Amino acid sequence: MAGTFAGKVALVTGAASGIGRAAAIRFAQEGARVFCADLNLAGAQAVAAEIGSNASAVEVDVASYASNQAMVDAVLAQAGQLDIAFLNAGFYGAAEGLDTVDEAFFDKVVAINLKGTFGGIKAVQPVIAQGGAVVVTASAAGVVGHPANPAYSAAKHGIVGLVKSCVDAFAARGARINAICPGGVETPLIGAADVAMIDPQALPRVPLRGMGSAQHVAEVALWLSSPAAGFITGQAQVLDAALLSTFAPVI
């Protein structure tokens, strides 16, 4: 895929850490000018500096429509075009089951993951380039239930619904939109406490064993954004080493 995105402009949210950071670096390696957007501006600036002169940092709170719009306006003001948007910022929190989850936690999880993705989609759709691509990060928990964090699972299911519902709007601009649904990935989102919480019986049931890496997920986001995936839109691509294909009550 060397040079796949030469001349293209890519926006990545959640770029300060984990999957977003890995994807921002890979988009740049493939020739894109990259905008690293995050609530953590210092983190986004550090990733942009690591990438070099073809990257810039943008501060965004995806939970705000106005902030999403300002982010997209900043990209257009600086680069004049937007070809790829990887709307990936998300929040898991300390997992809260049905018995303990409170209103504030539910609202925060939905605001960042679901409303945040919708705000990004709304801001990007009117300006995405012909032939452009949007990839949003849902989760394996957006395809099956996740009893340890039902708010997160509901928000991620909602993201899959958004993708299916927005296909026509993007197709009208000659652009595509897809979701990715990773299983467990080793990033700061999944803290040591969460890893410890995961049923020790669950991971051995993953046919390829263990958790995925940010790199695994970034490569799928890149491929879905590329012309090689030009006939794929409206899909929710699971990448979980077949965890969901086996019997596993805990993700």
Question: Judged by CB under 6 A, does residue 68 bind ligand NAD?
Answer: no
Burial class (CB in 10 A: 0-12, 13-18, 19+), 48: buried
Q: How far apart are the first and last CA of the chain?
A: 31
Q: Is residue 45 within the footprint of ligand NAD (CB under 6 A)?
A: no
Site membership for ligand NAD, residue 158 (CB under 6 A):
no
Is residue 206 a contact point for ligand NAD (CB under 6 A)? no
HEC profile for 181-210? EECCECCCCCCHHHHHHCCCCCHHHCCCCC
Is 19 a binder of ligand NAD (CB under 6 A)?
yes
Work out whether strand 84-87 and strand 9-13 pair parallel, antiparallel, or are unpaired.
Answer: parallel
**Position 56 contacts ligand NAD (CB under 6 A):** no
Sign of CA dihedral 23, 12, 166, 148: positive
- Out of 5, 91, 118, 152, which one is annotated catalytic? 152
What the block records as the tokens of 148 is 């340890």
Q: Applying CB under 6 A, which of residues 61, 132, 222, 239 lies at the interface with ligand NAD?
A: 61
Among 8, 11, 14, 243, binds ligand NAD (CB under 6 A): 14
The answer to whether residue 86 forms part of the interface with ligand NAD (CB under 6 A) is: no
Answer yes or no: 152 catalytic: yes
* Residue 124 φ/ψ, nearest 5 degrees: -85, -40
Total site size for ligand NAD, rule CB under 6 A: 32
Which residues have a catalytic role annotated?
A: 152
Interface residues toward ligand NAD, by CB under 6 A = 13-14, 16-20, 38-40, 43, 60-63, 88-92, 112, 116, 137, 139, 182, 184-185, 187-190, 214
